[in-house]
């Protein structure tokens, strides 16, 4: 019997009626002869509501206690789903992170899964039970409850699929992965398949369908992941390895944009690798995620260094940069930034994608402020007002 690990997001279990619908969907797969493990998120807006509740207690909730608080959301939806499945006449059991030893390490709020007690899950499956596992949570070596970060339930599901050598199905409120966000480009095409790398780039670039770490994990262990709607005949998207895919396909698979970053430029800094490296080390020490970096050619042994960071980290970054801002050195902020990225493993074998893109930008008066590239993606910082125009121009050109 095949083992299927399903994950249902918060909107799929937002009400008792929806939980009962999930139960029926689970039972259908059991009836079809599969062993089911189901990972659930907290109901609806529970996590946001709990954060708001904590903020009423204190502006800066203790991180250990915040994790302890947030983890209860998933425990509730697990217990409720187990009840709903039992009510349909099938055996089920809910497990918290403690109960199946989801061992984590790292910081509160963004812990990593180290291991899971798959034997306990297997025993329950062998006893004919549907196993409902709490997503998003783990237990660290201190015995504290930790959470995996927003979207962490995806990672829980993939990790369990890895340990059980099962397949993984992520049910969410979108019917699959699109080449472009359909809210921003109405002709966006849904993809039947997408490569792990591509999905990973799109996720980290702003396509918020899945937790990036869940895709890394699936890639590492080559677990195919289906993403789609539950209880629906609409076919979703399978995220899987490149070996299974048609390499002759188009060079660009998808496009993603993000307005969550700001560009910081340090002007007239000494062109000294030690000084510049030291600056980035200090920023990294504060766990500020620097994305695009560019540096001008030196004039009088002075350079301008620009980089993008998440808007929410700007204040902390500026306090680090204060010590640099003296004499002719000057720190500028540009908040009018949209990160525009195209992704495709086809770029590995297709040349001229950058050239084609730049030609289109020139023809359409789209200014590029910064640019970075990797083997399978090109990211430009553009003006926010150019975002929709750029999406349309590029999506049409590359048939996304």
By the criterion CB under 8 A, which residues form the site for a second copy? 16, 19-20, 50, 53-54, 56-58, 60-62, 64-66, 68-69, 71-72, 75-76, 78-80, 82-84, 86-87, 93-94, 96, 98-99, 143-145
| Residue 155 and residue 221 in contact, taking contact as beta carbons nearer than 8 Å | no
| Closest to a second copy by CB, 62 or 192 | 62
List the structure tokens of 58.
């204190």
Shortest Å distance, C-beta 58 to a second copy = 4
Shortest Å distance, C-beta 56 to a second copy = 4
| Residue 195 and residue 242 in contact, taking contact as beta carbons nearer than 8 Å | yes
Assign 3-class secondary structure to 280-308: HHHHHHCCCCCCCEEECCCECCEEEEEEE
Shortest Å distance, C-beta 82 to a second copy = 5
Shortest Å distance, C-beta 112 to a second copy = 21
CA 354 to chain centre: 26
Contacts of 75 (CB under 8 A, 6+ apart): 94, 96, 134
| Closest to a second copy by CB, 138 or 236 | 138
Backbone angles phi, psi at 285, to 5 degrees: -55, -30
| Closest to a second copy by CB, 56 or 326 | 56
Shortest Å distance, C-beta 75 to a second copy = 5
List the structure tokens of 205.
């670039």
How far apart CA 210 and CA 206 sit, in angstroms, is 10
Shortest Å distance, C-beta 70 to a second copy = 9
Shortest Å distance, C-beta 129 to a second copy = 11
| Closest to a second copy by CB, 11 or 167 | 11
| Residue 253 and residue 399 in contact, taking contact as beta carbons nearer than 8 Å | no
CA 235 to chain centre: 22
131 in the Ramachandran plot: left (φ > 0), alpha (ψ -120 to 50) or beta?
A: beta
| Closest to a second copy by CB, 81 or 370 | 81
Contacts of 70 (CB under 8 A, 6+ apart): 42, 47, 50, 51, 136, 147
Report the SS3 class of residue 128.
coil
List the structure tokens of 50.
């709990």
Shortest Å distance, C-beta 146 to a second copy = 13
| Closest to a second copy by CB, 138 or 346 | 138
Report the SS3 class of residue 252.
coil
Shortest Å distance, C-beta 307 to a second copy = 35
Shortest Å distance, C-beta 64 to a second copy = 7
Shortest Å distance, C-beta 211 to a second copy = 23
| Closest to a second copy by CB, 68 or 321 | 68
| Closest to a second copy by CB, 130 or 395 | 130
How far apart CA 378 and CA 64 sit, in angstroms, is 38
Residue given tokens 């250990």 in the structure block: 64
Q: How many residues appear in the chain?
A: 400
| Closest to a second copy by CB, 75 or 157 | 75
**Residue spans of alpha helices (H) in the chain:** 16-31, 46-57, 63-87, 118-126, 152-164, 196-204, 212-221, 273-285, 314-321, 353-363, 387-397
| Residue 86 and residue 23 in contact, taking contact as beta carbons nearer than 8 Å | no
| Closest to a second copy by CB, 126 or 187 | 126
| Closest to a second copy by CB, 96 or 230 | 96
């Amino acid at each position: 019997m095949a083992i299927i690990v399903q994950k249902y997001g918060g909107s799929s279990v937002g009400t008792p009626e929806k939980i009962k619908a999930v139960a029926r969907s689970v039972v259908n797969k059991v009836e079809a002869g599969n062993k089911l493990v189901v990972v659930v998120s907290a109901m609806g807006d529970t996590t946001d509501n709990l954060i708001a509740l904590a903020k009423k207690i204190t502006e800066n909730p203790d991180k250990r206690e915040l994790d302890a608080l947030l983890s209860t959301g998933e425990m509730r939806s697990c217990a409720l789903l187990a009840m709903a499945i039992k009510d349909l006449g099938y055996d089920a059991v809910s497990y918290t992170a403690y109960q199946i030893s989801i061992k984590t390490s790292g910081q509160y709020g963004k812990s990593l899964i180290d291991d899971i007690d798959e034997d306990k899950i297997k025993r329950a499956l062998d006893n004919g039970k549907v196993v409902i596992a709490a997503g998003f949570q783990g237990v660290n070596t201190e015995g504290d409850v930790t959470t995996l970060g927003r979207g962490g339930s995806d990672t829980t599901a993939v990790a369990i699929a890895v340990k059980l050598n099962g397949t993984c199905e992520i049910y969410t409120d979108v019917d699959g992965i699109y080449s472009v966000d359909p809210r921003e480009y109405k002709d966006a095409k849904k993809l039947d398949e997408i490569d792990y790398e591509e999905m990973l780039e799109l996720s980290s670039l702003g396509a918020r369908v899945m937790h990036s770490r869940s895709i890394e994990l699936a890639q590492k262990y080559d677990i195919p992941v289906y993403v789609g709607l539950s209880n629906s005949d609409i076919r979703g998207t399978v995220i899987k390895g490149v070996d299974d895919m048609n390499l002759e396909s188009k060079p660009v698979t998808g496009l993603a944009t993000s307005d969550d970053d700001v560009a910081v430029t340090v002007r007239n800094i000494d062109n000294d690798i030690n000084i510049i490296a030291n600056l980035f080390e200090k920023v990294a020490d504060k766990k500020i995620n620097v994305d695009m970096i560019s540096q001008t050619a030196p004039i009088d042994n002075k350079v301008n260094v620009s980089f993008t960071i998440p808007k929410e980290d700007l204040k902390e970054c500026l306090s680090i940069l204060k010590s640099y801002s003296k004499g002719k050195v000057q720190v500028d902020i540009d908040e009018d930034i949209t990160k525009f990225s195209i992704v495709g493993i086809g770029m590995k074998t297709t040349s001229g994608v950058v050239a084609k893109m730049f030609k289109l930008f020139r023809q359409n008066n789209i200014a590029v402020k910064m640019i970075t590239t990797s083997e399978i993606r090109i990211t430009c910082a553009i003006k926010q007002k150019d975002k929709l125009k750029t999406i349309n121009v590029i999506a049409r050109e590359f048939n996304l």
